[in-house]
Structure 1
Amino acid sequence: MDTENIYSACSWSPTRQEDCRYTSHVKIFYGVSNRGAWSLGSNLILKERSIEPPNFEAANLRFLTENTSIPIPKIVEEWQEDDGAYFMLTRRIQGLPLNEAWPTLSNADKDRIAKQTAEYLSQLREHQSIRRESLGGKPLYSAFLFPNGYGIGHGPLLSDDELWAEMSLALTNVPEEARQKLRQRMPTATPYTFSHCDLTNVNIVVNNGNLAGILDWKSSGYFPVWWEFTAAGIGLGQEDTEWKDLLRKFLPDHTEARNFWLDLFALRKYPKLNERGLTFLNSCGLSMPNQS
């Protein structure tokens, strides 16, 4: 009896692979939480996940295809299994993820790719809503804009007061004086603008020194007008930070909003504040409570 472990992703064991002349061109290349992505040869990508939100990528891709010229994956088919598993098959955008290509690109290439990305994203600003929501009036999900927990839906929201009420859920332990001062600094969120919100370098595909595609639209929707710029300031590693610093130079400037959000994000850890959080607290004339 074969007592080897069977790989759950493909149902084969090492012995089965060694005893077979078949070499698979179906490869899993991404997996996190309840999601996985497979390359099917060189032309197709298969994504598998649960039906739990946020799972709005197909609707968002169709919306973008109908209303923009942004280079995005083309849907071949999508379906749902009886057990709740969801699949989406798309055409692969030919090229390399920016995180792989970055070390080989010239500064001129990097500038061109950032400018091309920003130019395509400018098309999104034509698509606005009176509410902060996903397509179809569904909630949006962002653990950065709403740092009170992952996988929690928010909205639809109609006003800055409603937006603040949701954002400030992460600040329940912060002194009220500091909360009020931060609220006074929050720029108006309107017009709610369709935004990608996750322009990390792994979601940018490049080919021959040019932008070839923008991936991963599952959590996109109508966010505050300043959120695309602000989210592009969240670097996930050195090269991703370099990329986003460059990209922001070509996006509409919302530095004031970004600084507001950085202070909110720092205060969420109260009373265990970093230097930014302590600086903001001191600006309110407050000091840390005696924790001895």
Structure 2
Amino acid sequence: MPARFQCKPLVAPEASESQAQLDAQPSCRLLAQKPGGRFTWALGDGYTLKERRYEPGCEVEVANISFIMGGFAGRLDTPQVPEVELSWRDGDKFFIVQRQVEGESLEDALPTLGPDDIARIGYQVGQYLLHLKIFISPVMAKRDGRPVNNFHLLKPLPDSSSGSYSVGTSDSDLASMLGLSIADRLDKPTFDAFMAKMPSGQPFTFSHSDVHEGNIMVKDGNFLGLVD
């Protein structure tokens, strides 16, 4: 016996399929992929999700942001900081959800900017980096107390036989660590003479170690904040 009430579509099949495709547009999209299994995703228009392999100490990024927000609290001239909403470890992954900083990266905006815009943004970024230097420490270390290893200067060593980084307290400590990666390439008198010319690294101040066009956020020809 046929059903008494047959099911009839409310819209034509073509329209239904078209609407389904619109509804299926993802609100999560990949913004950046970096070596080492690091990804940054946009979550809608207001948040970003950072995903990376978990390594002991990677939580320091959250501590860094909290430190900056606390240090600049109440200042009206402070550029935006990507505030952390959530962070957690899930197995061998670590995730951070942050509020998005307005605008676009300087890298994306460059084609639309003139020389005056670039000069103004450069000045504003420089002033912000100078602001960070008000945070002084008696030692050169990460916020969680671990030794610093900066990709540009204190690169991971090829093997442990070359030595190891430590928490620095003096210019001689800094020079010794900077020299670890080249000590085996020079004779000792040349190495000592070279390292003796190193300028002072003090005072040790809080720094953003990856300032480039992709991490500088701008809008209407002005600097808004640093990310990552």
Higher-helix-fraction structure: 1
Q: Secondary structure at the match of 2:173?
A: helix
1:44 and 2:47 aligned = yes
Q: Distance in 2 between matches of 1:63 and 1:94?
A: 21
- 1:235-274 superposed Cα distances (whole Å, 9 cap, x missing partner): xxxxxxxxxxxxxxxxxxxxxxxxxxxxxxxxxxxxxxxx
Q: CA RMSD in A?
A: 2.0
- Matched with 1:74 is 83
- Matched with 2:140 is 132
- 1:163 partner amino acid: L
Q: Secondary structure at the match of 1:135?
A: coil
- 2:84 partner amino acid: I
How far did residue 147 of structure 1 move? 3.7
User: Cα 1:25–1:199, aligned 2, differ >3 Å: closer, same or farther?
Assistant: same
How far did residue 25 of structure 1 move? 1.8
- 1:188 partner amino acid: S
- Matched with 2:172 is 161
Q: Distance in 1 between matches of 2:110 and 2:214?
A: 10
**What's the TM-score, normalizing by structure 2?**
0.79
1:128 and 1:192 in contact (8 A); partners too: yes
Q: Distance in 1 between matches of 2:100 and 2:181?
A: 39
- 2:154 partner amino acid: F
- Matched with 2:30 is 28
Q: Distance in 2 between matches of 1:154 and 1:105?
A: 42
Larger Cα-atom Rg: 2
- Matched with 1:197 is 209
Q: Secondary structure at the match of 2:179?
A: helix
How far did residue 106 of structure 1 move? 1.1
User: Cα 1:59–1:148, aligned 2, differ >3 Å: closer, same or farther?
Assistant: closer
Q: Distance in 2 between matches of 1:148 and 1:77?
A: 29
- 1:79-123 superposed Cα distances (whole Å, 9 cap, x missing partner): 111x13111101111211101111210111111111111112221
Residue segments in structure 2 that go unaligned for 5+ positions in a row? 1-17, 73-77
2:149 and 2:155 in contact (8 A); partners too: no
How far did residue 54 of structure 1 move? 6.2
User: Cα 1:122–1:65, aligned 2, differ >3 Å: closer, same or farther?
Assistant: same
Q: Distance in 2 between matches of 1:209 and 1:54?
A: 36
Matches within 5 A, 1:1-292: 21=21, 22-32=24-34, 33-52=36-55, 55=58, 56-68=60-72, 69-81=78-90, 83-147=91-155, 149=157, 154-171=165-182, 172-216=184-228
> Which stretches of structure 1, 4 residues or longer, exceed 6 Å deviation after superposition?
none
**What's the TM-score, normalizing by structure 1?**
0.63
User: Cα 1:53–1:214, aligned 2, differ >3 Å: closer, same or farther?
Assistant: farther
Calculate percent identity across the aligned residue pairs. 28
Q: Secondary structure at the match of 1:205?
A: strand
- 1:131 partner amino acid: V
How far did residue 77 of structure 1 move? 1.1
- 1:99 partner amino acid: E
Q: Secondary structure at the match of 1:126?
A: coil
Q: Distance in 1 between matches of 2:106 and 2:137?
A: 31
Q: Distance in 2 between matches of 1:101 and 1:181?
A: 45
- Matched with 2:5 is none
Stretch deviating more after TM superposition (169-178 or 201-210) = 169-178
- 1:196-249 superposed Cα distances (whole Å, 9 cap, x missing partner): 121111000100101111011xxxxxxxxxxxxxxxxxxxxxxxxxxxxxxxxx
1:139 and 1:155 in contact (8 A); partners too: yes
How many residue pairs were aligned? Answer: 196
2:79 and 2:224 in contact (8 A); partners too: no
Q: Secondary structure at the match of 2:133?
A: helix
1:140 and 1:154 in contact (8 A); partners too: yes
Structure with the larger RCO, 1 or 2 (CA within 8 Å, 6+ apart): 2
Q: Distance in 2 between matches of 1:105 and 1:53?
A: 41
